[in-house]
Each structure stands twice: as structure tokens, then as C-alpha cells.
A = this chain, B = another copy of it.
Amino acid sequence: MSGSVYGKLFRVSTWGESHGPGIGVVIDGCPAGLKLNSGDIQKFLDRRKPGQSRYTTQRKESDEVEILSGVMEGLTTGAPISLLIRNSNQRSGDYDALADLYRPGHADYTYSVKYGVRDHRGGGRSSGRETIGRVAAGAVAAKLLAELGIQVTAFAKAIGPVTLHEDEYDFSQIEKNPFRMPDSVHIRQVEDYLQEVSAARDSVGGIIECRADGCPAGLGDPVFDKLDAELAKAVMSIGAVKGVEIGDGFSCASATGFTDNDMFRSGENGKVIKATNHAGGILGGISDGSCIILRAAVKPTPSIAREQNTVTKDGEETTISIKGRHDPIIVPRAVVVVESMVSIVLADALLNGASARVDYLRKIWER
């Protein structure tokens, strides 16, 4: 497989299946001297946890993290940080009926073809529970970013057809509603829509936006490892994400150079600033010091109770109606996953950038 390791220097290696003994992650490369305790990580996991509202799966998973290595007396030591979250509420039985069927919109068929064997219990490695490892690592990354003055915030920009415009954002509302929307006005509208969709035993998608404030200019590498390219990979690698855009994104396509370019200005103390931020904080793959902005398109939860056509693993046509406890909308919980992936990318970029110049090396190595 060899696909569960991310990062060049801040290396995150996740493992675990939905219905195995647990889920976890090893972070190799977290710098020494970072204050870190399990509470820092638990806070992130709790935001991802199911059962936070009636719009998320009613599985009860406590998802408690144990720090197994890399931290001594509240400080990271430079050694790999291993984090373990035991699975506690697996109801594998729910999945027995699915062992021989390929669920539409899921990875059942592709895993079967690729590996010859497949862990059908809850999707195994392709389960949404896989993101627990990402969020645990994201919490560590976020702690590191915070030490350097960087703050990453994600939220729901759209749920189904209900879309917020930028001038409607009220960030203080994000954690105050079950959808993680930065707004209190449209909540009712969203609730009504979800009600309707749930009644049809169907599910909905949405758009998550993520912003990183306080990033220094100079993060990211040219050519293949551009900061926006790494962000695109990291966010697109989240199960349900089908599109990623930076700054003005797809709307650039119909703009002109004059309206899309951000003009430079002289800021305080002779600092270079930009008059606008169509670029979303990244120019030529390198952060420009303004807010980094990206959006991710999240598809509707593929597990729906409504009957669908499918085939068995022997190729027989049949129908399927997915029982069990599934989120009618994945966006609110995925917000934390996007935030985590963005944090991991930025942490890796901070580490990579520390060796970009001879004068940086002098600062570190000259005694």
C-alpha cells in the first residue's frame, strides 16, 4: 500500500481500521521542545467525534487518545510521537450483510480489485474512522503552528444548496451550531433541508473553507512541491473530498489578469502587502504573508438507506439499502479533518523552509 505516510520532515504515518482494535498515528520529525499533552490532542478528537448532534452518526465512540512515546514531562523530545485510540463501539455485525456486496460510492470494489482481500467491516481502512489518525496528528501540528503564531480555522461554507457569502461570515458562530457554519442566520434553512433529505433516506454534501492566519511569507517550495500543491494533495486525500481550490479558485477561470492579480502596496514599516487576496495567500507556490484560503468540495455521505442497484462480489446484480448509523451530512465533522490536514502541511513547510538559505544554516549551526 505504502500510501499512509505523509510529509517530508514532519512525517505522519497513520494506521488502523474501523473495526479492528484501534486507530493510531506515528509522527516522526516533530521538533523537540514543544509543549504537548494528551489534552491538546483530545480537544481535536472531541470535535471530530460522532454523536455531537443529531446530524451525525449516533455511534458512541469515546475516542480517547493515549500518548505512547515522544513526550517527556510535557515536552516533545524529538523522538517519534505515537498516539493510540482504541476502538470501543464496533458493531461488526452491522456489516455482515455487506461482506458480499459492493456499496455504491464506497471503496469496496476498488479495494477488492487492488488487494484481492478486503476488510469489509465498516470499510476497514477506507472508513471515515481512518481520519482519527489525521486529526490526532493535526492537533500536534496545530500546537506547533500556534507556537509560531499561526492559526488555522476551517468551517462549513455550504451545506447542500445553502451557501454563505464571505461578507456573511461570523467566525464566532462556528462552534455554536451543529454544522460549524460561521453564521447564525442560515442555520434554520440548513436544518429544514437536512430534514427533507433525511426523510428521503438520502444524504447531502457541502463545501468546507479553511483559512490560515499568521503564516510568514516564504513557506512552500517551487515547482512540484508548491504549497498549494501540497495543500491540494492533503485535502483531496480526505475520503469524501472531490475538489480543492485556492483563493478565488475556479472563479479565476472567467476573470481577467487585471481583476485577478493582487496589486502590491507598501505597508507599515516598509513591509510589502497586497491590496487584495485573490491568490489566497500563495504566489508561485510560496506563501506571501497574507491569509491562506482554500475550499474543499465534500460529496454527500455515500451510505444511504434509500435502495440502490449494485452487484455482489460474484458479479450478480442486486439491490442494497444501507442500514447502520451513518452521518446524513459529513461536512461538520470533516471540518476538523480539513483543519488537521492543512496544519500538517504547514508544519511540514515550516520545517522544510528552515534550510532554504545559507544564512539560516549559519543561525543554527554557527557556535
Asked if B80 contacts A4 (CB within 8 A), the reply is yes
Which single member of B32, B66, B82 contacts A15 (CB below 8 Å)? Answer: B82
Which single member of B205, B260, B286, B356 contacts A252 (CB below 8 Å)? Answer: B205
Contact flags A172-216 to B (C-beta < 8 A → 1, else 0): 000000000000000000000000010010111111000000001
Contact flags A269-294 to B (C-beta < 8 A → 1, else 0): 01110010001101111111100000
Tell me if A31 counts as interface (CB < 8 A to partner B).
yes
Chain A positions 307-361 with a Cβ under 8 Å from a chain B Cβ: 308-311, 314-317, 350-361
Which single member of B3, B113, B247 contacts A242 (CB below 8 Å)? Answer: B247
Given the complex of chains A and B, what is the CA–CA distance between A143 and B32 in angstroms?
29
Tell me which residues across on chain B come within 8 A of A359, comparing CB atoms.
33, 116
Tell me if A217 counts as interface (CB < 8 A to partner B).
yes
Asked if B354 contacts A360 (CB within 8 A), the reply is yes
Contact flags A215-230 to B (C-beta < 8 A → 1, else 0): 0111011111110111
Q: A116-B359, A245-B243 are in contact. Are A222 and B4 (CB under 8 A)?
A: yes
Given the complex of chains A and B, what is the CA–CA distance between A314 and B126 in angstroms?
50
Asked if A361 contacts B148 (CB within 8 A), the reply is yes
Tell me if A17 counts as interface (CB < 8 A to partner B).
yes
**Distance (whole angstroms) from the CB of A215 to the closest CB of chain B:** 9
Contact flags A7-25 to B (C-beta < 8 A → 1, else 0): 0111111111100111110
Tell me if A366 counts as interface (CB < 8 A to partner B).
yes
Residue from the set A67, A254, A270 with the largest chain B CB neighbour count within 10 Å: A254
Asked if B236 contacts A244 (CB within 8 A), the reply is yes
**Distance (whole angstroms) from the CB of A249 to the closest CB of chain B:** 4
Asked if A279 contacts B207 (CB within 8 A), the reply is no
Asked if B114 contacts A218 (CB within 8 A), the reply is yes
Residue of B nearest to A197 (CB): B256
Which single member of B234, B236, B304, B364 contacts A354 (CB below 8 Å)? Answer: B364
**Distance (whole angstroms) from the CB of A297 to the closest CB of chain B:** 4
- Interface CB pairs A-B, < 8 A, 8: A15-B26, A21-B69, A23-B69, A33-B357, A78-B115, A105-B260, A242-B247, A360-B364
Q: A2-B221, A6-B224, A244-B245 are in contact. List 9 more A-B contacts (CB 8 A).
A: A4-B222, A106-B284, A114-B353, A144-B358, A230-B233, A232-B235, A243-B252, A258-B306, A260-B300
